[in-house]
Chains A and B, each alone.
Chain A
Amino acid sequence: MTLMLSTSGLTKQYGSKVAVDHINLHVEQGSFYGLIGPNGSGKTSTFGMLTGLLKPTSGEGMIASFPLKQMEKIKKKIGFLPQHAIPFAALTAREHLLFFSQLKHVSHTEEQCPSLIQQLGMSSYADTAVKKLSHGQSKMVGIAQAFLGSPELVILDEPMAGLDPATISMLRSFLQRQQQQKITILYSSHELAEVEKLCTHVGILKQGTLLKEGSLDALKAEANSLTLRVEKMVIPLIKSIERLPHVTAVSFMAPQLKIKYTGMEKITPHVIALLAKAGVQVYDIKEKSLEDLFLESV
C-alpha cells in the first residue's frame, strides 16, 4: 500500500480553540477518500493545512513523498478546490483556466482546457465573465482548475454543495473517470449518500478528531446491522437467526429485533425467510448504513 498523503498528530489551534486535534490521516495512492463530518468538525482547517493556506500548530504530514514543510514542492503535485472561493471576476471561465495552466506550467493547455470545459459541461458559458456566472457555474470553473495539469492528488472541499442534481450526476461521472486515471482524490462532503457512491475510503471527523478511518467496505461491515419490527418472537427462532452465517449478535426488545453481522453480504433475505417460515409477521425492516454509523459517531 503506497500512501499519497499521511499525517501524524496534525493539529490546528486558533487561540484556545482546537479546530483539528492530532489527526492521523492515511490516503492511499489512487484512492477516492471522503472526509465527512458536520459543520465545524475541522474539514476545511485540515484541508487548509494540507494545501499551505494554514500553518499547522503541531504535527507532521507527507504529500506525494514531500513533508508539509516543503509546501512549494507539494503545490506542484496537487490541485485544490476551496470551499468558498470565486474565480477571478474580471476573467472569463476559459481565461481563468488558461491563466492557471500558465501558473501550473501545463504543456498541453491547447488540449486540456477545451477537454475539461467539454467534460464538465461548461461549453455554454466558457466565454462568459466569471462575475456573471451562477454559484454552480463558478464552482465548475474551480473544479476544472483543480484538475489542470497532471495533479497526483486533488483536494476538493465540498464540491457538490450548491449544485443541481443533473450537475451532480455529471460531476460524479467526471470524478469517477479521473480516479480511474489513477488520480488520488480527497474530498469533503455532508452528502453521505454521495460518499457511499463515490468513495473507496472514508474518514469521519468530529470536533477536530478523526473518529474512524478505513475502506468504505470495512466501515460498512462494521456498521452492518438489521432492525426489524416484528409481531412476536420466540427464543428458538432467535437461536436459529444466531446460527445464520456472519451473524454476531441478536437481541429482541418488543417489538424490535436487532441483528448485527459482519461482511458485505446482506443477510436480510435469509432472516425474512426464517421469520416467514415461523409465521412471524414483519412490519418494518431497517438496514443500517454508513449514514447511521456517521450519525452515531457525531
Chain B
Amino acid sequence: MSWISDTLTLAKLTLLEHIRGWKVIITILSLFIYGAALLGGYKIIVLSQQFAASTPGVDLIAGGVLDKLSYYVPHVVSVFLLPLLAVFLGYNLINQDLNTGSMKFLVTQVSRTSIVAGRFLGLSSVFLIITFLPLFVYALALHLSLQVMLSHWTLLFIYGLAFFSLALLLSSVIRNTTFSLLASVVVIMAMVILLFTSYSFLSLFSFVSINPFSRLPGAWLPLLGWTLGYFLLSMVLFGVQDL
C-alpha cells in the first residue's frame, strides 16, 4: 500500500511540475499544428474531390496528386511528431533530478521502483491530458463521433507511451540531460533505418502505417509489450546505480 501511495504522490508531483513548466506549452502548440495539418489535409481532399466531380478529365492527375499529398503529409508528420514530442517530454524524467540533487531527497525516503513508476505515471497523465484538447478540436472540426475520438485518443496514447518508456529508460541510464535527449533522437532515427532492414521488428515504427490510426488497433499489444519492457528495464537499471 505504501508503494502505491508513494507512486501516486510522485505522479502528482510530476503532473504539477509539468503543468507549471514550459515544455507542456510547446507540446500543446505542436499538437495544434499537427491537428491543423490534419485538418488542412482533410480540407484539400474534400476540395480536390469536389474539383474532380465538377471537371472530369482535367482533374484526375491534379486531384490524384493532391489527394496523395494531403493524405500522406499530415500522417507522416503524425507518425514522427508524436515520438519526438514523447521523448521531448520525457528525456530528462529521471536524470534531471539527479543533476539538481533533488533525487537524493527522494531516494532516501522512498523506493527507487516507486520513483520510476511515479515519474512515468505522472508524465503519462500529462500526455493523456495534453493530447485531448487538440484531438477534441480536430474531432469537432471533422464531425467525428465521441466514440471515434476516444478511440483515436487511446491509440495515440498507446503509441506515445511506447516512446515515453524509451525516453524513461534513456534518462535512467544517462546522467547528462543533453546526452539523453540526443540519444533519444538517435534511437528514433535508428528505428527508422531499422524499418528497411530484416530487424524491422525491433523498431516501434513497424507497428504503425503512415496513417497511425489504420494499423494501430492490431498493434496495441506489441506496443504495450515494448512499453512494459522498457519500463521494467528502467526500474532495474536505476535500482542498481550508485547515486
Q: Report which A residues bind B (CB closer than 8 A).
A: 48, 51-55, 72, 75, 78, 80, 82, 84-91, 99-100, 102-105, 142, 145
Closest beta carbon of chain A to B103's beta carbon, Å: 8
CB neighbours (8 Å) of B102 from chain A are: 85-89
CB neighbours (8 Å) of B16 from chain A are: 90-91
Question: Which residue of A75, A78, A84, A145 is within 8 Å of B110 (Cβ)?
Answer: A75
CB neighbours (8 Å) of A102 from chain B are: 5, 9
CB neighbours (8 Å) of A99 from chain B are: 9, 13
CA separation between A104 and B6, bound complex, in Å?
9
Closest beta carbon of chain B to A139's beta carbon, Å: 11
B108 interface residue, CB < 8 Å from A? yes
CB neighbours (8 Å) of A86 from chain B are: 100-102
Contact mask for chain B residues 38-66; partner A; CB cutoff 8 A; 1 contact, 0 none: 00000000000000000000000000000
CB neighbours (8 Å) of A72 from chain B are: 111
Known contacts A84-B101, A87-B102, A103-B6; decide if A75 and B17 are in contact (CB<8 Å): no
CA separation between A265 and B98, bound complex, in Å?
49
Number of A-B contacts (CB under 8 A): 69
Closest residue of chain A to B240 (Cβ to Cβ) is A55
Q: Are B104 and A80 in contact (CB under 8 A)?
A: yes
B contact residues, total (Cβ < 8 Å)? 24
CB neighbours (8 Å) of A88 from chain B are: 13, 17, 102
CA separation between A55 and B112, bound complex, in Å?
13
CA separation between A51 and B110, bound complex, in Å?
11
CA separation between A85 and B104, bound complex, in Å?
7
Closest residue of chain A to B113 (Cβ to Cβ) is A72
CB neighbours (8 Å) of A84 from chain B are: 101
B145 interface residue, CB < 8 Å from A? no
B148 interface residue, CB < 8 Å from A? no
Question: Which residue of A51, A85, A90 is within 8 Å of B20 (Cβ)?
Answer: A90
The 9 lowest CB-CB distance pairs between A and B, nearest first, are A85-B101, A82-B104, A90-B17, A80-B108, A51-B108, A53-B243, A86-B100, A54-B242, A102-B9
